[in-house]
Amino acid sequence: MNHYFHSIRVDPAKCAGHMKCLRICPTQAIRIRNRKATILEEKCIDCGECINVCPKGAILPMTNPFGELTKFRHSIAIPSPALYAQFGREILPDRILNGLKKLGFDDAHDLALTCGEVSFAIQEFLREYDGPKPLISNTCPVIVRLIQVRYPNLIGQIMPIDAPRELAAREIKRQASKRYDLLEKEIGAFYLTPCPVKMVSIMQPAEKGQSHLDGAIAISDIYGPLLAAMEPLAKDTYRRSLESICILGIGWAMVGGICRTLRLRNSLSVSGLTEVLKVFDDIERGKLGNIDFIEAYSCLQGCVGGSLNVENIYSSHNKILKLIETLEFEKIKACPDIREVRKKFAEKYFFLEGKIEARPLKPLDPDLVQAIKKRKEKEEIFKLLPKIDCGACGSPSCLTFAEDVVRGEAALSDCLFKYPEKTQSEGSKRSEEPPVPAEVAPFRPLLNNNKETRTTMTLEEIVQKVGLKILAVPEALGRPVSGGYASDLLSDVMANSRAGNVWMTLQTHQNIIAVAKLKDLAGIILVNSREPEPETLHKAAEEKVPLLQAADPAFIISGKIYALLSGKG
Amino acid sequence: MGSDDVFTQTFEVAGGDFHKAGRVSIEIKETLQELGISPAVIRRTAIATYEAEMNIVMYAAQGTLHLALSPEAIVIEVFDRGPGIPDIDMAMREGYSTATREMQEMGFGAGMGLPNMKKNSDVFEIISAVGQGTRLRMVFHLGGRTAEA
């Protein structure tokens, strides 16, 4: 099996099994096993949603520490335009680039300029292209991986023009090796990244053997030192600084930044993974064929929304917009030489160096007949499940759990709602899985008022063991009790109690008898020594519903009966 | 071929429910992916199923979509209780549509539905009775496309 590099790691020492990551993961790539989150590498697309949501900070992005640049004889910083978005009009790009050099990089490259070139290159490509539409931007590595995994049909529609960061690293290394008489491998190109996933595209590019970049440093790691390293700018140089900004490339930090450089084209932009899924579903169904180009980002608002930024998403988005407005107002339109770009385009300079292949998920079984059988089994198992997606089994939803069971990666007995005896044989199949930890075990009977969970204990035994007073129908106490339900809302009891349950309530009016009869409950226990109304006693006798009384409040008596039914009493 | 080898699923589609429109085709697509069907066949099936689903949503009061998958082929059968199609030959022409202005404003009713289903399936059969409804059947061969397509 192929191994996939991921930029996300779970630190088991920190993980407390909160399951927030389990629920948020858009590709259902997380399972809780042995109370710790684990990531299924085949399904993970490195979107980083789990990093943001973990309350323990146990999911860590794998970026390079700042110190790694000393491993190279010559080091270059290539900041994502999202770094400029952290500062906006107050601190302009040339000051940021100078600050980076002060921090120890031998050089810093303005990626906005390369982005501008790529904007032109995309225009050139769209002019000649007549294949299936829309074409989809490949700047966001999560989107590329999403297509590989979930939309293999759309692989052919990924824009074949390489991402600016890769093109820039390749170009800079070529030039620096000539200028300083170095081997390319002696030059370290570091991307300053707004998100962990760029690390994946560096360690394991979707298309080519090796990335031109040597690492990625988190914007959040470099922000503090950079602030301290930047020199105040003299006022008279402000205009000159503005003039160095590429108006086409600066917008690449945010969603819509590429589309606005393709004005005559019918393009659209989308950000946020759930929104992207909707748009991709439409493309796959043959809609949106009238759109030439789609710019899609996993993070809300594009790269400014990456989890490794410092500034608030919306304020950094706004900072870029204001910067662009300023450039437009000042009529500054610095951008790359389009003739130069056309020449390079003709020489195939901008194209991806390899082919992006599909990475479809493993089918239920390699053999179709077996797969069909397993798919049916999954359906049957799913029918048995409570469908509340509680996550206690360690799978994100009942449907994924059914699939995990069919694939042999989980046992039916992991579901707290299933009747344990019935699934013991399946539970024993899995030797590598530890039993349910003692701390979570007590939840089982409380949640478990499912009618399949019959115990052999009768109401009479319960009456004796916990000391209940019999108010009515002593002759009907021989019935086995399937579980308990404690509630004072009749409609709740109607909805959620199960046949054979014993019901604990403080309600004393005659309607409780009707509810118990309708739901075929084993009996009613009035808590806190409450006395029934005379009508209630009368009805209980008439309908043959055992009526009992406990001196304890509901919490205590529930606890006692629960202990009995779970075999711990 | 025993019935053991056939996976079937039935979906109810409510007419006029644009909010849920498209869910059935997504669900079928996901099932086909789980079964390891080739992406090209999935694409054709998903497009044709989506068009069929949308036709129910747009024109019928209610409809049923039935999926049957065997190791040889995918069969999609659709039944609806709708107005029926008076002239099927006309409806099969690209660009012919009886969609209302409202539907067209939502981006539907370009007159591509039925032609698209025929184009993407290996076998396409349709029967319709005015005032009663429409039945259609589409087959997608798993071993590759047949010559007739």
Put simply, the answer to whether A364 touches B116 (Cβ < 8 Å) is no
CB contact B121 to A (< 8 Å): no
Q: Supply the pLDDT for residue A416.
A: 79
Segment A548-561 mean pLDDT:
93
Decide which of A565 and B1 is more confident.
A565
Summarize pLDDT for A101-132 with one digit per residue, the tens: 999 999 999 999 999 999 999 999 999 999 99
For chain A, say whether B20 makes contact (Cβ under 8 Å).
no
Beta-carbon separation of B42 and A285 below 8 A: no
- The pLDDT assigned to A568 comes to 65
- This prediction's pTM: 0.72
What average pLDDT does this structure show over A199-225?
89
In this prediction, residue B110 has a pLDDT band, given cuts at 50, 70 and 90, of: low
Q: Are A208 and A183 in contact (CB under 8 A)?
A: no
3-state DSSP of A52-110: HHCCCCCEEECCCCHHHHHHCCEEEEEECHHHHHCCCCCCCHHHHHHHHHHCCCCEECC
Burial of B53 (0-12, 13-18, 19+ CB in 10 A): buried
Model pLDDT for residues B29-71, shown as the tens digit of each residue:
989 999 999 888 998 999 899 889 988 988 888 999 999 999 9
pLDDT, residue A446, reads 38
User: Is B64 part of the contact surface with chain A (CB cutoff 8 Å)?
Assistant: no
| Other Cβ atoms closer than 10 A to A474 | 12
Who among A153, A358, A363 is closest to B34 (CB)? A363
Average pLDDT score, chain A: 87
Q: What is the pLDDT of residues A78-104, one digit of tens each?
A: 999 999 999 988 899 989 999 999 999
Report the residue of chain B nearest A377, measured CA to CA: B7
What pLDDT sits at residue B61?
A: 86
Chain B contacts of A363, Cβ < 8 Å? 33-36
Query: How confident is residue A314, by pLDDT bands cut at 50, 70 and 90?
Result: very high
pLDDT category at A415 given cuts 50, 70, 90 is confident
Average pLDDT for A205-212: 84
Asked if pLDDT for residue A188 goes beyond 60, the answer is yes
Please, which pLDDT band fits residue A443 given cuts at 50, 70 and 90? very low
Q: Which residues of A touch B9 (CB under 8 A)?
A: 379
- The pLDDT value given to residue A440: 40
Phi-psi region of B23 (alpha: psi -120 to 50; beta: other; left: phi over 0): alpha
For residue A16, the one-letter residue type is A
Closest CA to A223 of A99, A113, A312, A392: A99
Q: What single-letter amino acid sits at A299?
A: C
Q: Tell me if A372 and B142 make a contact (CB, 8 A cut-off).
A: no
Task: For residue A453, name the pLDDT band (cuts at 50, 70, 90).
Answer: very low
Q: What single-letter DSSP state applies at residue B115?
A: H
The pLDDT value given to residue A102: 93
Nearest to B7 among A287, A363, A376 (CB): A376
At residue A411, does pLDDT exceed 80?
yes
The C-alpha atoms of residue A113 and residue A99 are separated, in whole angstroms, by 18
Contact at CB, A364 and B34, closer than 8 angstroms = yes
Contact at 8 Å (CB) between A277 and A49?
Answer: no
**Closest-CA distance of chain B to residue A428, Å:** 27
- Enumerate the residues of chain A whose CB falls inside 8 A of the CB of residue B39: 152-153, 358, 360
Mean pLDDT of chain B: 85
DSSP lists the bridge partners of residue A74 as A187
Nearest to A176 by CA among A204, A214, A203: A214
- For the cut 70, the answer to whether the pLDDT of residue B105 exceeds it is no
Which pLDDT band, with edges at 50, 70 and 90, does B100 fall under? confident
Q: What integer pLDDT is reported at residue A297 of this predicted model?
A: 96
What is the predicted pLDDT for the residue at B107? Answer: 63
Assigned token pair, A146: 């999403």
